[in-house]
Chains A and B, each alone.
Chain A
Amino acid sequence: MTQAKRTFAQKLSGFFANNAVPIIFIVISALAIPISGFSATYLIQELLIRIGRNSFLILSLLIPIMAGMGLNFGMVLGAMAGQIGLIFVCDWSIVGIPGIVLAMIIGTPIAVLLGLLCGVVLNRAKGQEMVTSYILGFFINGLYQLVVLYFMGWFIPITDTSLVLSRGYGIRNAISLMNIRTILDRLLPLRVGPFDIGSFHLGYIDIPVATYLVIAAFCLFVVWFRKTKLGQDMRAIGQDRAVSDSAGIPVDRTRVIAIVISTVLACFGQIIYLQNMGTLNTYNSHDQAGMFSIAALLIGGASVTRAGIGNVFLGVILFHLMFIVAPMAGKNLMGQAQIGEFFRVFVSYGIIAVALVLHAWKRHNAIMNARRSLRGAPDKKEAAL
C-alpha cells in the first residue's frame, strides 16, 4: 500500500496510534494543571529551568537508539563519571565556568573507559542490551561506591577535608556545589516579561540562555552526526546487523563507539544537571539520571528503536509538567500530596513498562507480517485460497 492511497481517516487513526503516549500525557496534564492551581508564570519558569537541566541528559540517549541498542540504561555510568569529575573540581576549588569545563575534561576519560566496558559487555549480550546495561549500571554503581566511599581520601588524595567523612576517608553524602551553582544558567541572563496575553497574566520569566545555547549546540551535533558516515553506519546496524556486517561495516566496533559517545555525553549532561541543582548527592544523584531521562524520552513519543530531537523536548516538557503538578493535584483532589507523588513514580515506571511492551509487541507483529509476505506471489496465493 502506498502512502497516497491511505484515506484521511486512516492517517488520523495512524497518527493517534503512533502518538498515543504523548497524547495521553497531554490530556493528563491538561486535567491536572487546573486542579493543581499553579500559576502560569510559575509553571513556565519551572519548565524552562527543567528543560535546561535535563535535556542534555536525555539527548545522550539518542545515539545508541540509532545504533539499534535500545534505551541505554548504562547512561548512569556517564553520570557517575561526571560526578567523579565534579568531586575533583570541588576538591581543587576550581570555580565558575573553568570548574565546569575542567569537570567535563576529567570526567571524559572515565566516561570513555566505562563506555568501552559497557560496549564490550553489550556486544556479548546482543538482543539483551537493555537488561544487561541496566544490571551493568548496578554493578558499576557498586564499584563507584567502592572508589568514592572507600578509596577517596585513602589512596586517592582528597585535600579538602570538608569533603571527606570524619573517619578520614570516603566522600560525604552531599557536596555543596555553591561555587558552580547555576553558573552556566546565569552566564547570559535574560529576563522577559511581564506579559499580558488577553486575560492571561505572566510575571517575569528568567531564561538560562547559555545553557540553552549548549543544548542547541548539542542538537546541532546530533543533526550533524546523523549526516556523517558513522551515523549512517549506526543507522544501518540498527536496522540489520547481519547485512551491515556483510557489507564490511565493523559492527561491534561501531556499537561500542555509540555507547562511548552516549556515556561521555551523559557525563556532560550530569554536570550540567548538577550545576543547576547546586548539590551533589554523592550516592544518589546518578541514580535518578537514567530512569527519569528514559521515562521522559518515552513520554515524548520515542520508541526503543526510533527517537528524535523532537521527542526529547516534548518528553521533557510533558514529563516535568506532570512531575510538577501531580503532587499538588493529588493534594487538592484527594487531600494527600503523597498520592500525587506516588502517582508520578507509578507513571515514570509504568511508562517505561508500556513502551517496552509496545516495542516487543510491534516486533512480534513485524515478524509475523514478514512471514506472511513470504507466502509468495499473490496470484497463486489467491488461487490456493
Chain B
Amino acid sequence: MRSFIERVAALVVILIASVGLFYIGREHKVFLDNKTIEMEGQSFRALKFVRVSVAGKDPIELMPRDRDLLAVVGPSFKLKVEVMDEFGEDVEKTIERELKPGFDKDMMLSMPLLAADRDDYILPPPTGPARPPENDVKPTDELVIPLDAAPPTD
C-alpha cells in the first residue's frame, strides 16, 4: 500500500515536472508584423518606423510592411514597443506589455494594432513557413554504419 502511494506520488511528481518543463522550456516564435491591417471594419496603417524590444533583447527596428521573427523561451516575456517618427529619431509613443503565451506555441504581434492600444493585437502565426530543402529518406537496416567509411564513388 505504502509503495503504491509512493509510486503514484512519484508518477504525479514526474507528470507535474514534465508539465513544468514544458511550460518553462517552451520556445515561442514571435512574429513582429508591421503591415496595414483591417480589423472590425477599421484599417490600421503600418507604422512608419517602430523599434521593438522583446524579453530585454536588443531592439529590432521595423519599417512598414516589415515582418520579423524572433524566438523567446518561457511562459511570459516583456514587450517594449517604441513608435518612432519617420526618421527613427524621436520616440512618439512607448508601449510596454507583458505577454503570457503560456502553453501556446507561436504568435504574431501586430504593431499597428498595438500602437492603437487595442487588446486584440495578438494574431495567429502565419502558416506555411519556408521549408528547408528536402532530403530523401530511405529506410535502412544498417545498424552499424562505419563513420565516414563509405568509399569514394565514381
A residues touching B (Cβ–Cβ < 8 Å)? Answer: 76, 92-99, 101-102, 105-106, 137-138, 141-142, 145, 149, 159, 161-162, 165-166, 170, 172-174, 179, 282-284, 286-288, 290-291, 323, 327, 338, 341-342, 345, 348
Contact = CB atoms under 8 A, between A and B. Distances in A.
A76 B21 contact: no
Contacts of B132: 162
Contacts of A145: 139-140
B145 A94 contact: no
Given A94-B26, A105-B14, A345 B137 contact: no
Contacts of A92: 22, 26, 105
B27 A161 contact: no
A291 B144 contact: yes
Given A162-B132, A166-B131, A173-B137, A94 B142 contact: no
A97 B137 contact: no
30 contacts: A92-B22, A93-B26, A93-B27, A94-B21, A95-B73, A98-B21, A98-B22, A99-B21, A101-B21, A102-B18, A102-B21, A106-B18, A141-B141, A149-B139, A166-B134, A172-B137, A173-B137, A179-B27, A282-B137, A283-B137, A283-B140, A284-B142, A284-B145, A286-B143, A288-B144, A290-B143, A323-B147, A338-B151, A341-B148, A348-B146
Given A105-B21, A137-B143, A290-B144, A173 B135 contact: yes
Contact of B142 (A96, A149, A282, A287): A287
B136 interface: yes
Contacts of A141: 141, 143
A328 B11 CA distance: 51
A72 to B, nearest CB: 14
A347 to B, nearest CB: 11
B131 A96 contact: no
A97 B20 CA distance: 12
Given A162-B132, A165-B134, A94 B22 contact: yes
B24 A76 contact: no
Interface string B107-135: 00000000000000000000001011011
Contact of A287 (B105, B136, B145): B145
B135 A172 contact: yes
Contacts of A105: 14, 17-18, 21
